[in-house]
Amino acid sequence: MSTQIALVEDNDVIRENYTEVFTEEGFDVVSFSNRYDAKKYFQTTLPDVAILDIGLNEERDAGFQLCSYLRHLSPTLLIIFLTSRDEEFDRISGLRVGADDYITKDIGLNYLIVRIEALFNRIEARTSSDDSENTATIPTQACSSLKFDSSLMVAFWKNELLDLTLTQYRIVKELAGNPGEIKDYSALMRSAKICVEPNTISAHIKTIRASIRSVDGSFNCIKTERGLGYRWVEV
């Protein structure tokens, strides 16, 4: 059974071009030009990955709405924004509503395929045994306030559920599970089983911080080591 991509893009030429490329790569592709048709489809069928533009026709933030809706339906569905909007605010907003990756349309088609295939590795990871996911709680010496439920792949800070995507869950678990160690972008990509740009990892880190600070405004355990990566410290 082939992997299905749902593409939501209002530009007819771009939509047709990407559909052709994905189909040639062996994917089963369904495409939509607006939020309403896409949402109607998603109500009965979920793809393996959704690729969303942000602005759809006259709706400037339709893609954000679709992403939030999809993430509510499935915490593990792979969601990618493919958009011409390259502002940091948009990138962070996209990841906060649940996207796994944020790609601008100036990317080459071949590289886009690589990014998508790298994300699909997470599907295989979810179906294979992973000993690193079996421990529900980070050791006390790492962080007594942070706990993980590996069966559901969710995290808690001071017993409050955190609003994290699966990618963000894996990133924070890698950092907190290795307190004091600097984790560079490559290490965090490997732990999250993704292949993205470094600024996407940075945006995920900002979202993780914001999620924990919504529970605990004094949170400051993730330190930025400029030019190197990130470190988890107990404050």
DSSP H or E run through 224: strand 222-225
For residue range 108-121, what is the model confidence (pLDDT) as tens digits? 888 888 878 777 76
Q: What is the pLDDT of residue 1?
A: 60
Q: For 4-127, CATH number?
A: 3.40.50.2300
As annotated, the residues of the chain forming the CATH 1.10.10.10 domain(s) are 131-232
pTM value?
A: 0.67
Place of tokens 């994905």: 22
Given a cut of 50, the residues of the chain with pLDDT beneath it are 127, 129-142
Q: What is the pLDDT of residue 125?
A: 53
Q: How many other CB atoms are there within 10 angstroms of residue 114's CB atom? A: 13
Q: What is the pLDDT of residue 206?
A: 93
Return d(Cα 195, Cα 214) in angstroms, integer.
Answer: 28
Q: Are 101 and 178 in contact (CB under 8 A)?
A: no
Q: What is the topology classification, in CATH, of domain 131-232? A: Arc Repressor Mutant, subunit A (1.10.10)
Q: What is the pLDDT of residue 59?
A: 94
Token couple for 213:
């600070």
Q: What is the pLDDT of residue 75?
A: 80
Q: Are 31 and 53 in contact (CB under 8 A)?
A: no
Return d(Cα 158, Cα 173) in angstroms, integer.
Answer: 15
As annotated, the residues of the chain forming the CATH 3.40.50.2300 domain(s) are 4-127
Place of tokens 């969601």: 79
